[in-house]
Amino acid sequence: MTSNFCPVKKIRVKASGEYDVLIGRNLLDNIGSLIKEVAGSCKIALVTDDTVNALYADKVLLSLKNAGYTAVKFVFPHGEQSKNLNVYGQILNFLAENEITRTDCLVALGGGVVGDMAGFAAASFLRGIKYVQIPTTLLSQIDSSVGGKTAIDLPLGKNLVGAFKQPALVVCDVDTLSSLPKEIFIDGMGEAAKYALLDKKVYYLICGGEYAIEELVYLSIDYKRRVVETDEFESGLRKLLNLGHTPAHGIENLSGYTIPHGRAVAMGLDIILNASFKRGYISKNDYVNMLSAVKKCVGENICPYEIEKIATAALSDKKRSGDYITVIAVHGVEDCRPEKIKVIELAEYLK
């Protein structure tokens, strides 16, 4: 990938809360002054996981100090297994013990797990305090940090408790992506593949050969911005962001969550493309080209499970409503459409 992108790009998201998303390099060194613009003088509660803490927390704390902030820090063990009621409760207690008030600001530094859980803490503590997202994985930069969905998991399923709460600012420093293990980077590329099928600009960027990662982050967020601005609370258009997610949910479930989310989404996209081709929604040529775009993102992508099993496991998806489930079908690049099908027909549909 080349890196000839201009320094800092800004996307303004106009949802129930309005905020900027900044995309660039070397932004962590200036994070204190960037936060000052949206939070003013206040106390900062920094929430991060142990991996990201070791990599970036000192830099962030130094910049906060240079901007005149007093900051307290909460660190929890990395990974999806931490996104639970227990750690969420610990964050709330930490905020209370440190006398964080309604005028203070929470800063979430890390991947989607940190962002989702810290965001939910910010949404619920004192009925809502300001928060800033500093996403450090590709998945969290292109997807989870923007749009205001916050959540934690319950033993019975992922993201079952949460709230919509828009951040005050999102800062995507793409330099942080350089420390990501390859598999975690590829995981984010699974979500990028989804954007490629939803948005022609992302599709042509990915199919066009070399590109700067900042550009992929920028275009993906800009697509998500358009969706969130039109349908913040997911009553219509935002459902398109679930493209590939119904089979992905089944795949993650069957693997006991050892296949990561973005990788499962990429497998889910292949399944949906196949189903869309078989139903005559896309031509053979388009089908092959779109499969190739997914492959360009994640490489070889072989799903280890049979469709029947995936369909059964997918039925615990919260997008299911009664006897029906909504699947997003592909009719072309940037032409994806929700399709409501009977739960009992899902396996047949996905074959």
Is residue 224 part of the annotated active site? The answer reads yes
Do the strands 169-173 and 157-164 form a parallel or antiparallel pair, or are they unpaired? unpaired
Closest CB 305 distance from ligand NAD, rounded Å: 20
Q: How many whole angstroms separate alpha carbon 164 and alpha carbon 95?
A: 20
CA angle 71, 74, 76 (to 5 degrees): 155
Is residue 78 part of the annotated active site? The answer reads no
Closest CB 342 distance from ligand NAD, rounded Å: 27
**Which residue's CB is nearer to ligand NAD, number 59 or number 331?**
59
- The correct pick among 112, 167, 190, 247 for binding ligand NAD (CB under 6 A) is 112
Query: CB of 212 within 8 A of CB of 2?
Result: yes
Is residue 242 part of the annotated active site? The answer reads yes
**Restricting to residues 279-338, which ones interact with ligand NAD according to CB under 6 A?**
none
* By the rule CB under 6 A, 25 interacts with ligand NAD: no
* By the rule CB under 6 A, 63 interacts with ligand NAD: no
Residue tagged active-site, from 25, 130, 149, 158: 149
* By the rule CB under 6 A, 261 interacts with ligand NAD: yes
**Restricting to residues 173-212, which ones interact with ligand NAD according to CB under 6 A?**
176, 179-180, 184, 187
User: Burial of 341 by CB count in 10 Å (0-12 exposed, 13-18 middle, 19+ buried)?
Assistant: middle
Q: How many whole angstroms separate alpha carbon 46 and alpha carbon 28?
A: 13
Q: Which residues lie closer than 8 Å to 275 by C-beta, 6 or more apart?
A: 327, 329, 349, 350, 351
- Window of 144-152, 214-222, 318-326, 332-340 that interacts with ligand NAD by CB under 6 A: 144-152
Closest CB 58 distance from ligand NAD, rounded Å: 14
- The correct pick among 63, 124, 133, 140 for binding ligand NAD (CB under 6 A) is 140
- The correct pick among 11, 19, 47, 143 for binding ligand NAD (CB under 6 A) is 143
The tokens describing 185, both together, are: 């980077």
Do the strands 8-14 and 18-24 form a parallel or antiparallel pair, or are they unpaired? antiparallel
Do the strands 169-173 and 18-24 form a parallel or antiparallel pair, or are they unpaired? parallel
Q: How many whole angstroms separate alpha carbon 100 and alpha carbon 73?
A: 12
End-to-end Cα separation, the chain, in angstroms? 36
- Window of 113-121, 268-276, 321-329, 343-351 that interacts with ligand NAD by CB under 6 A: 113-121
Q: How far is CA 317 from CA 52, 158, 159, 168, in A?
A: 30, 9, 10, 30
- The correct pick among 46, 52, 310, 346 for binding ligand NAD (CB under 6 A) is 52
Q: How far is CA 299 from CA 155, 186, 216, 287, 342, in A?
A: 32, 9, 17, 17, 33
- Window of 67-75, 79-87, 88-96, 225-233 that interacts with ligand NAD by CB under 6 A: 79-87
Is residue 249 part of the annotated active site? The answer reads yes
Q: Which residues lie closer than 8 Å to 178 by C-beta, 6 or more apart?
A: none
* By the rule CB under 6 A, 166 interacts with ligand NAD: no
Catalytic residue list = 127, 149, 191, 224, 234, 238, 242, 245, 249, 261
Query: Where do contacts with ligand NAD occur on this chain (CB under 6 A)?
Result: 49, 51-52, 55, 78-80, 83, 110-114, 116, 136-137, 139-140, 143-144, 147, 149, 158-159, 176, 179-180, 184, 187, 261
